[in-house]
A and B are shown apart, each in its own frame.
Chain A
Amino acid sequence: MKERTYEKYFRQNRLPHIWCPGCGNGIAMKAIVQAVEMRGLPRDKTIIVSGIGCSSRASGYMDFDTLHTAHGRAIPFATGIKLANPELNVIVITGDGDCTAIGGNHFIHGARRNIDLTVVLFNNTIYGMTGGQASPMTPLHKKATTAPYGSVDRPFDACNLAQAAGASYVARSTAFHVQHMTDMIAEGISCRGFAFIETVVQCPTAYGRKNKMPDPAEMMKWMRDNAVMKTAWDRMPEEKKADKFPIGVFHRHQAVEYTEAYSEVITLAQEGGK
């Protein structure tokens, strides 16, 4: 058997991970380490930062310097790490609640600053860790323990949000499209600026069961059937879009990166502040 070289990026003594059978987080975590390997990031100069949630437990399994922060706060911690030592590659792992509810303000401001982080949102459209409450990304009319009659809260499109806030790179993929997901993340890592990748992952336990899709493979087939590549999506008539959603790269725009902008501030200040 050929060596699976990405396996060296896992803390073998921590596996198996705590996620439920069929949870999509494992697929996304592997995509991240494969993207890191593709990009050849030096392991000791790569930092993984996560918030709180099932998804955010990923940091504990990854053999880098890893930081499991507080709920919603991964981006500020990551910003501090990057600003303190711009030579580090900083990858943020966050959940839909972590990133767009409690951490929503940090998310848009990170994008606005365009600081060089790669933010990967594991979107299971639910609060997994706390047992299935609605998140700001729970689709309309879907059920959650706190939306027993179906959610009436309109969901965020986190990709639109990131783009509007100023991110340099914005993409989406799914746990079905594993190779595509890896490519989307790898391109985000290459981007010098705020890169945001939303990856749709199945949560059979807290979301699937409540929404008549308890089988993880069925959830992945739903992704296969409903995700539409960006190019096809753009040509698709509105009436056909209904439950479908686009994947691919939505936005690339290399604006000035924040730590680079700040290094100019340092130069100015050291010249006596003209």
Chain B
Amino acid sequence: MNTEILLKSERCKGCGICVSFCPKKVLGLDTLGHCSVINEQACIACGQCELRCPDYAIFVDKKVGA
């Protein structure tokens, strides 16, 4: 895994914007309607999700040293 995805679930409202804009289908909504990581391996750290999340609930970084 080259990337690190941090979810602040208490902020997530489950709008699905991150899911929709993720080019690699890394994200999905869980049964509670919150964002969840379903395929972390695929993440390319493009930052689209973090950029457009209106609730500052998802953060992605390239792993240090990766």
Within 8 A of B (CB), among A16-44: 16-17, 19-27, 30
Which among A91-99, A214-222, A245-253 touches the partner chain?
Answer: A214-222
Within 8 A of B (CB), among A64-100: none
Q: How long is the Cα–Cα vector from A162 to B1 in the complex, in angstroms?
A: 49
- Determine whether the beta carbon of B17 is less than 8 Å from that of A16: no
Q: How long is the Cα–Cα vector from A175 to B6 in the complex, in angstroms?
A: 22
- Determine whether the beta carbon of B13 is less than 8 Å from that of A15: no
- Determine whether the beta carbon of A220 is less than 8 Å from that of B11: no
Nearest chain B CB to A119's CB is how many angstroms away? Answer: 21
- Determine whether the beta carbon of A23 is less than 8 Å from that of B54: yes
Q: Is B55 an interface residue (CB 8 A)?
A: yes
Q: Is B52 an interface residue (CB 8 A)?
A: yes
- Determine whether the beta carbon of B4 is less than 8 Å from that of A22: no
CB-CB nearest in chain A for B50: A4
Taking each of B21, B52, B59, which has the highest tally of chain A beta carbons within 10 Å of its own beta carbon?
A: B52
Nearest chain B CB to A135's CB is how many angstroms away? Answer: 20
Q: Which chain A residues border B53 with CB–CB below 8 Å? A: 26
Nearest chain B CB to A184's CB is how many angstroms away? Answer: 15
Q: Is B39 an interface residue (CB 8 A)?
A: no
- Determine whether the beta carbon of A26 is less than 8 Å from that of B51: no
Count contacts between A and B, CB distance < 8 Å: 61
- Determine whether the beta carbon of A217 is less than 8 Å from that of B17: yes
- Determine whether the beta carbon of A216 is less than 8 Å from that of B16: yes
Q: Which chain A residues border B4 with CB–CB below 8 Å? A: 1
Contact with A along B13-25 (1 / 0, CB 8 A): 1111101110000
Given contacts A178-B51, A217-B21, A220-B52, contact A21 B13 (CB under 8 A): yes
Given contacts A1-B6, A1-B61, A216-B15, contact A19 B54 (CB under 8 A): yes
- Determine whether the beta carbon of B16 is less than 8 Å from that of A26: no
Nearest chain B CB to A32's CB is how many angstroms away? Answer: 13
User: Which residues in A have some Cβ–Cβ distance to B below 8 Å?
Assistant: 1-2, 4, 7, 10, 15-17, 19-27, 30, 175-176, 178-179, 204, 215-218, 220-221
> A22-B13, A216-B54 are known contacts; what are 17 more A-B pairs with Cβ within 8 Å?
A1-B4, A4-B56, A10-B56, A15-B11, A16-B10, A21-B14, A22-B54, A23-B54, A26-B53, A30-B56, A178-B52, A216-B16, A217-B15, A217-B21, A220-B17, A220-B21, A221-B20
Write 5 A-B pairs (CB below 8 A) sorted by A numbering: A216-B15, A216-B16, A217-B21, A218-B20, A220-B21
